[in-house]
Structure 1
Amino acid sequence: MADPFQFTHALCRTPAASAVTGIRAGGGPDPDFAGLLAEHEAYVATLRGLGLRVDVLPALDDFPDALFTEDVALTFPEGAILLRPGAPTRAGEVAHVRGPLAERHPRLLAMTGPGFADGGDVLRLADRVIIGLSDRTDPTGADELARLLGDLGYRAEIATTPKSVLHFKTGCSLIDAETILTVPAMRDCPEFAGLEVVVTPRGEEGAANILRIRETVLIGHRWQATQDLLSARGVDIRPMATDEIAHIDAGLSCMSLRW
């Protein structure tokens, strides 16, 4: 398997004004649209600054959550896989990303159902891919996705996401190829065998969704204890504003497809 962090390309989507009504599991206030747009623009600029070619697709007013491109597809150098999002309101997004992905990848595979899988439940490791079962990814969908990953040459394992965690990657992310950052509820996940497991500091469970791009780790700017922990390990961190996207249950990995 190739290095999981040596990305050269990313695909994002401009937030629509309707994004302020995006899905959220626990209710809460709407994000400020100007702030949300600024966070997204800073994110795109950061990816470009780290050397990626980033293409930004136009906003989709009919799909408030469409800026979270990671949930509707998986992208690898060998090809892309169109997913079946578990939230019914997001199903129509897939048709809008099919063409852009077909233009940029040598192969385009697609889930056909009846199961569902969200990209936020898929964690790529150096030697395999973990698919987490959640409210958005069911066993039937995970099984189909594992077969499609096999067609691209990737071995998949299926894990269980704790009920307290929305998406598998809400609760864990790679610091490097051998080390995973995770919330306490996921520290004993058997699929983490062979990895060093680092637990988020008390009260900073929201820091678990970091995003490594080449040699740099993007992290939410609010999580100072986690930033200190990573810096002490010699990690090059880049704090990012995520206050507004957090209102709609999102994090740093959600806003791009990378390969």
Structure 2
Amino acid sequence: MSVCRFNRALVRTPAASAVDGLRAVDRGAPDVAELRAEHAAYREALATAGVAVELLPALEAFPDSVFVEDPALVFAPGAILLRPGAPTRIGETAEIAPDLRLRFPVVLAMTGPGYADGGDVLVTPDTVYVGLSARTDRTGAAELCDLLAEFGYRGIAVEPPAGVLHLKTACSLVADDCVLATRAVADARLFDGLDVLVVPDGEEAVANALRVNETVMIADGFPRTRALLEERGYSVTVLKLDEVMKLDAGLSCMSLRWHDPARP
């Protein structure tokens, strides 16, 4: 089955405290009402794509907690609790752990001392790539690869180009055999055996796309990338993400997605 095939997802309501969220580049604080509207449209897009979406409550103590992909990974066999690299986020793991234990028969957990963010993890059919970054160190990547092996996945650490916040800031899987990536990531040749579709110059921020079933979701405002994807035969859904992107985030960050074989 395709690794882009999903029928369940967990998301979390944006907190009012998101105005204090982490920002590597300060584009101003997000408007919380608009952020929640963007999040609602994202949930609707997932549902339209065939995914049953479960909404978790906001966590006001954690401004970045809307980005549920960073503290955990989920697969059909089970989940892995991570250790986010930002000190203000490490407590998010304990918050989401009970929700995952309710839904998965097996939940593994990193114990440290290393760190790993889910935003640095790109899952392909043959390999799970773990990007080294300011949020994912070598020790954490090594521990995560060991945990992935318990689920039968081959994990390898890769080093994205300088200046990439998370691996998936600059690339995303748009088909089992194709990665959408910035030119810098494409030139780094991180992905053996995969076709790499290069984002047009000037549209690098759209590299964090999200393939869900038959749809590739991208941020609004990147017409050349949309045209490139549609020329390749992809069905593209465009979503407004102005407030989300103020928090150095994108489409993949906002959900934990998996395929539940027990669900039609």
TM norm. shorter chain > 0.5: yes
1:3 Cα deviation after fit: 1.6
Q: How does 1:168-247 map to 2 (within 5 A)?
A: 168-247=167-246
Any stretches of 5+ residues in structure 1 without a counterpart?
A: none
Q: What SS is found at the alignment partner of 2:165? A: coil
CA shift for structure 1 position 103: 0.7
Match of 1:257 in 2: 256
Aligned to 2:156: 157
**Residue 28 (structure 1) shift:** 2.5
After superposition, give the CA deviation of every residue in 1:131-162 in whole Å (9 maximum; x if it has no partner). Answer: 00000000000000000000011001110022
Q: Which moved more, 1:4-13 or 1:26-35?
A: 26-35
**Cα deviations across residues 65-105 of structure 1 (Å, max 9, x unaligned)?**
00000000000001000000000000111111001101111
Partner of 2:261: none
Q: Identity, % of aligned pairs?
A: 53
CA distance in 2, matches of 1:27, 1:46: 28
CA distance in 2, matches of 1:188, 1:148: 29
More displaced, 138-147 or 177-186? 177-186
User: TM-score under structure 2 normalisation?
Assistant: 0.96
* C-alpha distance in 2 between matches for 1:241 and 1:119: 23
State the one-letter code of the partner of 1:148.
L
Q: Which amino acid aligns with 1:26?
A: V
Q: Distance in 1 between matches of 2:117 and 2:162?
A: 16
SS state of the match for residue 144, structure 2? Answer: helix
1:39 — aligned with what? 38
Distance in 1 (alpha carbons) for counterparts of 2:198 and 2:70:
25
- On the 8 A contact 2:79/2:104 being kept in 1, the answer is yes
What is the SS of the residue equivalent to 2:227? helix
CA contact (8 A) 1:157 1:191 kept: no
Superposed CA RMSD in Å reads 0.8
Residue of structure 2 in register with 1:77 after alignment: 76
The residue type equivalent to 1:82 in the other structure is L
Once residues 161 and 191 of structure 1 are traced to their aligned partners in structure 2, the CA distance between those partners, rounded to angstroms, is: 8
Q: Distance in 1 between matches of 2:10 and 2:54?
A: 5
Whole-Å Cα distance in 1 between the matches of residues 38 and 100 of structure 2?
Answer: 24
Q: Give 1:54 shift.
A: 0.8
Name the amino acid aligned to 1:250.
A
**Unaligned runs of at least 5 residues, structure 2:** 259-264
Amino acid at match of 1:28: R
- Structure 1's consecutive aligned runs of 4 or more residues displaced over 3 angstroms after TM superposition are none
Q: Could you say what secondary structure the match of 1:88 adopts? A: coil
TM-score of the two chains, using structure 1 as the length reference: 0.98
Alpha-carbon separation, structure 1, partners of 2:69 and 2:215: 19
Partner residue, 1:104: 103
Deviations 1:175-204 (A, max 9, x none): 211111111111133431111111110100
Secondary structure at 2:9's aligned position in 1? strand
Residue aligning to 1:93 = 92
SS of equivalent to 1:187: helix
The alpha carbon displacement at 1:27 in A equals 1.9
Amino acid at match of 1:217: V
Task: Describe how 1:1-16 pairs up with structure 2 within 5 A.
Answer: 2-16=1-15
